[in-house]
Amino acid sequence: MDRTLANFIRALRNSEVRISTAETLDAFNTVELVGYRNRDFLKRSLSLVLSKTVDEKETFETCFDQFFSFSNVHGSRESAEGTSEGGAESGDGEGGGESEGEGGQPQSGTQAGGKKSKTSAYGIEAEKEENLGAGEMTEAQSPLGQLLMHDSKVELSVEMSKAGEQVDVREIQVFTQKGLYTRRIMEVMGLADLDREISDLRNSPQVPMRRLGQELRRRREWLREQVRDYVERQFLLHADASGKRLREELLRKVKLSNVEHRSFRLIQEIVYKMAKKLAALHSRRKKVFKRGQLNIPRTLRHNMAYDGAIFNLKWKSVKIDRPKVFAICDVSGSVANYARFMLMFLYSLEEVMPKVRSFAFSSDLAEVTELFDRNKLEDAIAKTMRDYSGGSTDYGQAFEDFKRLCFDDVDHRTTIIILGDARNNYGDPRSEILKEMYDRSKRVIWLNPEGRNSWYVGDSEMRRYSAYCHQVDECNSLMHLERVVGNLLRTVQ
Residues 231 and 293 in one domain: no
**CB contact at 8 A, 489 and 352:** yes
Residues 479 and 406 in one domain: yes
Q: Helices H, strands E: what count in the chain?
A: 20, 10
The pLDDT assigned to 241 comes to 55
The pLDDT assigned to 242 comes to 54
The pLDDT assigned to 239 comes to 59
Q: Which long-range contacts (CB under 8 A, 24 or more apart) does 247-251 make?
A: 251/478
The pLDDT assigned to 64 comes to 84
Residues 237 and 281 in one domain: no
The reply to whether 72 falls in a domain is no
The pLDDT assigned to 319 comes to 52
Residues 204 and 126 in one domain: yes
Edge-to-edge strands of the sheet including 324-330?
365-367, 356-361, 324-330, 414-419, 443-448, 471-474
Residues 240 and 276 in one domain: no
Q: Which long-range contacts (CB under 8 A, 24 or more apart) does 42-48 make?
A: 42/68, 43/68
Structural domain ending residue among the three candidates 216, 247, 278: 247
The reply to whether 252 falls in a domain is no
Per-residue pLDDT of the chain (493 residues; tens, 9 = 90+): 577 788 788 778 777 788 888 888 888 888 888 888 888 888 888 888 888 888 788 888 888 887 776 555 554 444 444 434 433 333 333 333 333 333 333 333 333 344 444 444 333 334 456 677 777 888 888 888 888 888 777 788 888 888 888 888 877 776 678 888 889 998 999 999 989 988 888 888 888 888 888 888 888 988 888 888 888 777 766 655 555 666 677 777 777 777 766 667 777 778 877 777 777 765 554 544 455 677 888 888 888 888 778 878 877 765 555 578 899 999 987 788 888 888 888 887 766 676 789 999 988 899 999 988 888 888 888 899 888 887 788 999 999 999 999 988 999 888 899 999 999 989 999 999 999 999 999 999 999 988 888 898 888 999 999 999 999 998 888 888 888 888 877 765 5
The reply to whether 232 falls in a domain is yes
Q: At 282, which CATH number?
A: 3.40.50.410
Residues 371 and 452 in one domain: yes
Residues 314 and 437 in one domain: yes
The reply to whether 74 falls in a domain is no
Residues 142 and 42 in one domain: no
Residues 306 and 433 in one domain: yes
Residues 378 and 426 in one domain: yes
Beta bridge partners of 357: 326
What is the end-to-end Cα distance of the chain in Å, rounded? Answer: 51
Residues 243 and 274 in one domain: no
The reply to whether 86 falls in a domain is no
Structural domain ending residue among the three candidates 199, 215, 247: 247
**Tally of domains within the chain:** 3
**What does pTM read for this prediction?**
0.52
Cα gap 308→248, rounded to integer Å: 58
DSSP state of 134: S
Reference 419, options 232, 200, 257; nearest CA is 257
The reply to whether 263 falls in a domain is no
The reply to whether 449 falls in a domain is yes
The reply to whether 89 falls in a domain is no
- Distance from chain centroid for Cα 216: 41
Residues 182 and 325 in one domain: no
What SS3 state is found at 10?
helix
To which H or E segment does residue 57 belong? helix 54-67
* Residue 180 domain boundaries: 115-247
Please list, in sequence order, all residues whose beta carbon lies within 8 angstroms of the beta carbon of residue 250, skipping any fewer than 6 positions away.
Answer: none
